[in-house]
Amino acid sequence: MRRAASLFVLLGAAALHAQPPPPPPPPPHDALQTRPLTGTGTIRGRVIADDGDEPLRKARVVIGGPTSIPPGFTDDQGRFAFTKLPAGQYALTARKAGYAAAAFGSRHPGEPPMRIDLAAGGTVDGVDVRMMRGAAISGRLVDEFGEAIENAAVFAERVVRVAGRTSTTSQASTLSDDLGEYRLGGLPSGTYVVIARVARPPMITAAGGTIVFGGPDVARSRTYYPGVVALAAAQRIDVQTGEERSAVDFGVLAARALARLTLSFVDAKGNPTDAISTLSSGDSDAGGVTIGIPSMGTRTSTRVEPGTWMVYATGAAGVGISSVTIGSDDVAMTMALTKGGRISGRVIADGGHLPPGAAVEIEAQPSTVWMQPLLARGSIARTGSDGAFQLKDLLGARQLRVRSAPPGWLTKAILYDGRSLLDASIEFKGGEELSGVQVVLTDRHAELSGIVVDARQTPLQRYSVVVFPEDEQLLRDPRRLARLVRPNQAGQFRIDDLLPGTYCVAAVSDVDSSQWLNADYLARFRPIAIRIAVAESEKKNVVLSLVDTP
Amino acid sequence: MIAVVLSLLLLDQPPRAPAATATIRGRVMRTDGHPLPHATVRLTMAFGPIVNETTADEDGVFEFADVRPNQYRLAASKSGYVTLEFGQARASMRGEVVAVKDGETRERVDFVLPRHAAIAGRIGDENGDPVEGASVSVQQIRFANGRRQLAAVPGLNARRTNDLGRYRLFGLQPGDYVVAASVGQVGTDDLPGYATTFFPGTPNPAEAQLVRVGIAEDAFGVDFALTPVKTARIMGTTLTSTGEPFQGGIRMRASRRSATAGADVGAITRADGTFEFPNVPAGEYVLEGSKNNELGWQVVSVNGTDLEGVVVQTMPGSDISGRVTFEGAATPNRRRLELAAIPADSDFAGRGAAQADIHDDFTFHIGPVLGPRRLRLARAPAGWMLKAIRLDGQDVTDAVMAFGRPNQSLRDVEIVLTDVVTHLSGRVADSRGAPAADCTVIVFPVDEDRRYDGSRFFATVRPAQGGAIDLAGLPEGTYFVSAVDRLPEGSGISEDAWQDPELLERAARKAVRVTLQQGQTVSVTLRR
């Protein structure tokens, strides 16, 4: 801090006598180097208001597919057309002021959209997107004195639960104005929490452009409506299509009131050592916050909201993990850094060869879900040209997984000393070494496709198919093997990246997308699902009957 | 003997560190005389970092206790109000220094904060539908780099319209503003076919209506519709000086003949050297191509019809070489000489002033130089000034010369210095005759042709404590000399803003007229 202060003095003195430098010339702006489209396919449709069926003009339609395509705008009849498209899979979204953004085939946020399969030279018509009027949540933010808070970042978030961890995804965001007022518009109907984030700036610009350096530190504070820190205590706000929910006013927690956490780092001999630290909130109810403290030093401090936090420090002397509970009083803690554990091994292809030059990313992911963003860096290794990899500085409970593989390749097995390490948690306390780990990838995956019919055998156009392994052991991390699929514009579905095995498959009209990816939710589908077994490289085609959502 | 011992003992005492015993107190108030509660007050070193910060109470009263004797400045701020330093008389100047001694209690360090104003309204399209995500900003007419243009107001951010098309621009000082709304940028596909539109609904900045806001006086209902414009495509090829096509390195900006200073625009470029600027609204533009060290320009006029076949060919640059000669007794210090080829047209300024390399034997070289330029002696050693710049017997001291191609290079340019220096000296006094130091003295040529951007006939000087000024080395000629408000420092205001032709015209009416001839010292008395 002292070093920083003297730097400020120098800058302050120089600023008075220096002339403002001319602005640097902007770099040449070749922003739109898109290749002109050379395909022969066409996708056409209309954007319609859901209430009243009237066409919506000047709606912005964005199409995503095998190549980058500039957006289109609907005409006065609400029509759009994308031409010269190459063959492939597409998804389409429409936006218009006053309406909630809508994707083709998706009836509510979180529901995956329907795909459009376009053949070479083909035309897909009737890609109609219905837009519902957007709801809005508005209100006013005040500080502990009742005065307006300006420039706070305010978000409307949906609560979701994935693999047992509760967190939120942002649906809309805005900044509060000088009256403290905010408006979050264009919301699809649903349940939201409102959160305000205030960052105290380190510098304040006084009138005339002089800069006054301020604040001993940057303190962040987050508050959920109606004025609480924990997500669990946040009030859920239900809005219907087009509803105006106003007066969602609340007071923001003063950053000044937060307790200070001071960390000192020592090495194995007890001597002070430099480290960088990251904090992650242990309360899943807090919605999983990670704070990185960028300064490197033997001591660091920051203001932290109350709760249980995991601290991860890394430096020349090694790594350290500690848990700390913060209340309203300042806390000082010493962390001892030790040499972490190590995993080394090789990636091999099951009965074949990986494409030459392909790189695979292996991750020693923290087993506790909310710690994953905390330890993201340093936990990932890329294989070399011989397929070998090494992960170092590991501490805490970890799971080995393949983070990314060349397209078309899936993880078949992870073996160590004859045991499977898939979905298994390994505890590293300091210095453990696992060598000779084998990661087996396969490209001989299976495909499941087909249609869904109702009770009278009539094929359906809109549905969702849920697929997950029958073996409960394989569902410990559902993100690896569970799938949720929607049909394409012709009512057909296709999953092309299944590992051989037996799966529970169920076709339903709707799935709770805010929490489908959890073992306990999927378990509800077991009694109503049919069992389908797929072998290596098998392409299976089925006709599924629609069942009621459990 | 005893005296010596005593003095030795005294010398051995370590100096006492100053104890933190001073107190600073004051009150923050609104312009109507009522207290402003809960303002944040910051205590900073007079030329340095923040020392402490506190929040005033409900009556606006604040106190800093246990302050070390030193020199400080204080600033009060509150959301919705203008941040001011204690004793800040004008927006463009710093506040007073507050010095406290050991044990002193400094009272009445009071602030009066004016409220910020806001402008609010709604942006729609030509059908009346709300436009979401349009960028709305306030702009003011400024003079910089030799041209009048609309420029963003420093310290204020643009705001985006919400789902109802509404916006609120806040944090404004009282004044007159142009309100501008735009969607995306020219060259992107974000709702194409709209030009930047100015309240009350015109794409022409000259027709923009100023919105006035007073102290704490908001302007509501500043609604207007975006103007659909017929946009055109500009297509062409970029070539090097040898005729070879190249990809990329092409950008476009509004020419200085248009009143807006728009952002640079990007293009679709291809490997065969062709480029395309989509969605360009009507106006005059300069296309600039660059490849390695070469640079080239092409001016286009866009009027709704597509333009094809525009060629932008780069030039390798010209060289200027010659020597510095001097008429005088001694030899000047070569290191205090600064010579440059400065741009004469901001549309073709390229990479800015090209500095000369001056060698030990006073020969010099400048290169590569591109675009229309003048030669300028930016700095002369003390006691010397420029007499003339000569080429082939001609006087080219203020001449604009074209550069870019090798056959436009110049040799044997002579920069003549003289040690017979003009002096403009004098005094600035206020209406009572007392010396006035809190101002700037501006000097500008009577001849309007000499008032070009970067002209050597412009000068400013700040009077010394007693109001005295002494300006050496002004070129021969007739000038207006005037004392004006201290020129603003700080970001966002360009150094040459005072050279705005309108401001100069006003200053000329009250200025003193002075003629300087070679070696003369002329004295003036200026009234503030």
DSSP assignment string, A464-482: EEEEEESSGGGGSSHHHH-
Chain B residues inside the 8 Å CB shell of A54: none
What pLDDT does A217 receive?
Answer: 44
The set of residues, in sequence order, having a beta carbon less than 8 Å from that of A407 and lying 6+ positions away, is none
The pLDDT tens digits for B100-125 are: 998 899 999 999 988 888 999 999 99
Chain A residues inside the 8 Å CB shell of B490: 20, 208-210
Among B193, B225, B257, the domain-final residue is: B225
Give the residues across from A341 on adjacent strands: A394
Q: Which two tokens stand for residue A170?
A: 């942002």
State the average pLDDT over residues B500-508: 87
User: Is B50 in contact with A213 (Cβ distance < 8 A)?
Assistant: yes
Whole-number percent of chain B with pLDDT over 70: 91
Q: Is B430 a domain residue? A: yes
Average per-residue pLDDT for chain B: 85
- Output phi, psi for B7, to 5 deg: -65, -35
Chain B residues inside the 8 Å CB shell of A149: 79
Q: Is B7 a domain residue? A: no
Rg (CA), chain B: 29
Q: CATH assignment of A135-255?
A: 2.60.40.1120
Whether residue B339 contacts residue B364, with contact meaning beta carbons closer than 8 Å, is answered with yes
Do B188 and B105 fall within a single domain?
A: no
User: Is B269 in contact with A30 (Cβ distance < 8 A)?
Assistant: yes
**Smallest Cβ distance to B165: which of A20, A97, A214?**
A97
**Smallest Cβ distance to A19: which of B92, B125, B495?**
B495
The pLDDT tens digits for B183-228 are: 864 333 466 677 788 999 988 777 889 999 887 678 999 999 998 8
Quick check: A260 pLDDT over 80? yes
Q: CATH assignment of A446-545?
A: 2.60.40.10
**Smallest Cβ distance to B82: which of A5, A175, A207?**
A207
The pLDDT tens digits for A458-503 are: 999 999 999 999 998 888 888 888 999 999 999 999 998 899 999 9
User: Is B488 in contact with A208 (Cβ distance < 8 A)?
Assistant: yes
B83 touches chain A (CB under 8 A): yes
User: Is A209 in contact with B491 (Cβ distance < 8 A)?
Assistant: yes
Quick check: A218 pLDDT over 80? no
Do B160 and B172 fall within a single domain?
A: yes
**Smallest Cβ distance to B49: which of A12, A134, A209?**
A12
B39 touches chain A (CB under 8 A): no
Q: Which two tokens stand for residue A279?
A: 């904090």
User: Is B170 in contact with A177 (Cβ distance < 8 A)?
Assistant: yes
What pLDDT does B256 receive?
Answer: 79
The pLDDT tens digits for B285-304 are: 899 999 998 999 999 988 87
**Which range is least confidently modeled, A536-540, B88-92, B283-287?**
B88-92
Q: Is B380 a domain residue? A: yes
Most confident of A73-82, A321-330, A379-388, B426-435: A73-82
**Smallest Cβ distance to A183: which of B53, B154, B162?**
B162
Chain B residues inside the 8 Å CB shell of A30: 248-250, 266-267, 269
Quick check: A202 pLDDT over 50? no
User: Is A204 in contact with B75 (Cβ distance < 8 A)?
Assistant: yes
**Smallest Cβ distance to B47: which of A16, A148, A207?**
A16
CA–CA distances in Å: residue B321 to residues A410, A532, B326, B454, B491: 68, 85, 17, 21, 36
Do B438 and B353 fall within a single domain?
A: no
Quick check: A523 pLDDT over 90? yes
Whole-number percent of chain A with pLDDT over 70: 85
Chain B residues inside the 8 Å CB shell of A210: 85, 94, 490
Task: For residues B451 and B501, give the distance between their C-alpha atoms in angstroms, rounded to a whole number.
Answer: 9
Whether residue B42 contacts residue B75, with contact meaning beta carbons closer than 8 Å, is answered with yes
User: Is B164 in contact with A179 (Cβ distance < 8 A)?
Assistant: no
The set of residues, in sequence order, having a beta carbon less than 8 Å from that of A509 and lying 6+ positions away, is A462, A463, A464, A546, A549
* C-alpha distance from B430 to closest chain A C-alpha (Å): 25
A17 band by pLDDT with thresholds 50, 70 and 90: very low
User: Is B91 in contact with A208 (Cβ distance < 8 A)?
Assistant: yes
Give the residues across from B239 on adjacent strands: B245, B313
Residues of B (45-64) whose Cβ lies below 8 Å from A: 45, 47-50, 53
What pLDDT does B259 receive?
Answer: 59
* C-alpha distance from A105 to closest chain B C-alpha (Å): 23
User: Is A204 in contact with B38 (Cβ distance < 8 A)?
Assistant: no
User: Is B47 in contact with A214 (Cβ distance < 8 A)?
Assistant: no
A374 band by pLDDT with thresholds 50, 70 and 90: low
Q: C-alpha dihedral over B135, B137, B141, B147, to 10 degrees?
A: -30
B248 touches chain A (CB under 8 A): yes
Question: Coil, strand or helix: which one is B345?
Answer: coil
Do B411 and B506 fall within a single domain?
A: no
* DSSP structure class, residue A113: P
Q: Is B15 a domain residue? A: no
State the average pLDDT over residues A144-162: 87
Do B218 and B240 fall within a single domain?
A: no
What pLDDT does A69 receive?
Answer: 83
Q: Which CATH architecture has domain A341-442?
A: Sandwich (2.60)
Domain encompassing residue B257: 233-313
Quick check: B154 pLDDT over 80? no
Domain count, chain B: 5
The set of residues, in sequence order, having a beta carbon less than 8 Å from that of A475 and lying 6+ positions away, is A468, A469, A481, A482, A519, A522
The pLDDT tens digits for A103-114 are: 999 888 778 899
Ordered DSSP codes for A481-538: H-EEE--BTTS-EEEEEEPSEEEEEEEES---TTT-SSHHHHHTTGGGPEEEEE-TT-
Q: Is B13 a domain residue? A: no
B429 compared with B314, residue with greater pLDDT: B314
Average per-residue pLDDT for chain A: 83
User: Is A33 in contact with B268 (Cβ distance < 8 A)?
Assistant: yes
The DSSP H or E segment spanning B251 is strand B250-254
Amino acid symbol at B492: G
Where exactly are the structural domains of chain A? 41-131, 135-255, 259-336, 341-442, 446-545
User: Is A97 in contact with B131 (Cβ distance < 8 A)?
Assistant: yes
What pLDDT does B115 receive?
Answer: 83
Q: Look up the CATH superfamily of A259-336.
A: Carboxypeptidase-like, regulatory domain (2.60.40.1120)
What pLDDT does A5 receive?
Answer: 36
State the average pLDDT over residues A200-225: 53
Q: Is B281 a domain residue? A: yes
What pLDDT does A378 receive?
Answer: 66
What pLDDT does B338 receive?
Answer: 93
The set of residues, in sequence order, having a beta carbon less than 8 Å from that of A321 and lying 6+ positions away, is A310, A311, A312, A313, A395, A396
* H runs (alpha helix) in A155-303: none
A374 compared with A185, residue with greater pLDDT: A185
B528 band by pLDDT with thresholds 50, 70 and 90: confident
B503 compared with A54, residue with greater pLDDT: A54
User: Is B80 in contact with A148 (Cβ distance < 8 A)?
Assistant: yes
What pLDDT does A39 receive?
Answer: 85
Chain B residues inside the 8 Å CB shell of A186: 132, 163
User: Is B493 in contact with A209 (Cβ distance < 8 A)?
Assistant: yes
Among B159, B154, B155, B164, which residue's Cα sits nearest to residue B179? B159
Chain B residues inside the 8 Å CB shell of A178: 79-80, 116, 118, 168, 170-171
Do B409 and B431 fall within a single domain?
A: no
Task: For residues A304 and A307, give the distance between their C-alpha atoms in angstroms, rounded to a whole number.
Answer: 9
Among A372, A349, A362, which residue's Cα sits nearest to residue A402? A362
Task: For residues A334 and A270, give the distance between their C-alpha atoms in angstroms, rounded to a whole number.
Answer: 10
Task: For residues A67 and A86, give the distance between their C-alpha atoms in angstroms, rounded to a whole number.
Answer: 8
Most confident of A493-507, B42-56, B192-206, B497-511: A493-507
State the average pLDDT over residues A165-183: 89
Residues of B (120-149) whose Cβ lies below 8 Å from A: 125, 127, 129-133
CA–CA distances in Å: residue A118 to residues A88, A142, B12: 5, 52, 93
Quick check: B473 pLDDT over 70? yes
Task: For residues A287 and A280, give the distance between their C-alpha atoms in angstroms, rounded to a whole number.
Answer: 10
Check if the interface score ipTM surpasses 0.85.
no
What pLDDT does A194 receive?
Answer: 96
**Residue with token string 């007159």:** B176
Among B81, B113, B145, the domain-final residue is: B113
Do B395 and B431 fall within a single domain?
A: no
Chain A residues inside the 8 Å CB shell of B38: 143, 145, 147
Residues of B (267-306) whose Cβ lies below 8 Å from A: 267-269, 278, 290
What pLDDT does A394 receive?
Answer: 87
User: Is A213 in contact with B44 (Cβ distance < 8 A)?
Assistant: yes
Chain B residues inside the 8 Å CB shell of A25: 351
* C-alpha distance from A210 to closest chain B C-alpha (Å): 6
Q: Is B488 a domain residue? A: yes
Chain A residues inside the 8 Å CB shell of B171: 178
Nearest CA in chain B to A60: B191
What pLDDT does B488 receive?
Answer: 65
Nearest CA in chain A to B51: A214
Task: For residues A354 and A347, give the distance between their C-alpha atoms in angstroms, rounded to a whole number.
Answer: 9
Among B267, B291, B313, the domain-final residue is: B313
Do B199 and B267 fall within a single domain?
A: no
Question: Coil, strand or helix: which one is A238?
Answer: strand
What pLDDT does A423 receive?
Answer: 80
b vs e for B341-370, b when ≥16 Cβ sit within 10 Å of the residue's Cβ?
A: bbbbbbbbbbeebbebebeeebebebbbbb
What pLDDT does A171 receive?
Answer: 92
Task: Give first-to-last CA distance, chain B, whole Å.
Answer: 62
Q: Which two tokens stand for residue B258?
A: 């248009």
- Output phi, psi for B264, to 5 deg: -65, 150
Do B431 and B519 fall within a single domain?
A: yes
Chain A residues inside the 8 Å CB shell of B88: 206-208
What pLDDT does A213 receive?
Answer: 40
Q: Is B1 a domain residue? A: no
What pLDDT does B141 receive?
Answer: 77
Give the residues across from B41 on adjacent strands: B54, B76
Q: Which two tokens stand for residue B234?
A: 């500009």
Do B204 and B253 fall within a single domain?
A: no
Nearest CA in chain B to A137: B163
Q: CATH assignment of A41-131?
A: 2.60.40.1120
What pLDDT does B265 receive?
Answer: 58
User: Is B48 in contact with A13 (Cβ distance < 8 A)?
Assistant: yes
B390 touches chain A (CB under 8 A): no
Do B344 and B359 fall within a single domain?
A: yes
User: Is B248 in contact with A70 (Cβ distance < 8 A)?
Assistant: no
Quick check: A203 pLDDT over 80? no
CB pairs under 8 A between A and B: 170
